[in-house]
Amino acid sequence: MAIQCSFLPDVLCNFPAIDDTLIRAARKNIDDGFRGLVRAYGNVIDAVVQPLQWFLNYLEWLFTSTPWFVVLLVMMAVVYAASRNLKIVAGTAISMILIGVCGLWGDTMVTLAMVTVCTLIAIVIGLPIGILMARSDRLQSIINPILDVMQTMPSFVYLIPVVVIFGIGKVPGLIAVVIYAVPPMIRLTNLGIRLVDKEVLEAADAFGSSHGQKLFNVQIPLALPTIMAGINQTIMMSLAMVVVASMVGVGGLGKNTLQAINNQFFTVGFLNGFALVAIAIIFDRTSQAYGRRLQKHSEVIHG
Phi, psi of 19 (to 5 degrees): -60, 140
User: For 136-169, where are the alpha helices, taking DSSP H only?
Assistant: 137-152, 155-166
**Residue 81 lies inside a defined structural domain of this protein:** no
Against a cut of 0.85, is the pTM above it?
no
CATH number of the domain that 261 lies in? 1.10.3720.10
**Residue 7 lies inside a defined structural domain of this protein:** no
**Residue 79 lies inside a defined structural domain of this protein:** no
Q: What is the pLDDT along the chain (303 residues), one digit of tens a residue?
A: 556 677 777 777 778 777 788 888 888 888 888 778 778 877 887 788 888 888 888 988 999 899 999 999 999 999 999 888 899 999 999 999 999 998 889 889 998 988 889 889 999 999 999 999 988 889 999 999 998 888 888 877 777 777 777 777 788 888 888 888 899 999 999 998 898 888 888 888 888 778 888 888 888 888 888 888 888 889 888 888 888 888 877 888 888 888 888 887 888 888 888 888 898 889 888 888 887 777 676 654 444
Boundaries of domain holding 47 = 27-66+104-302
**Residue 75 lies inside a defined structural domain of this protein:** no
Domain count within the chain: 1
**Residue 58 lies inside a defined structural domain of this protein:** yes
Taking CA 268 as the corner, what is the angle to CA 265 and CA 274, rounded to the nearest 5 degrees? 135
Residue 7 to residue 269: CA distance in whole angstroms:
56
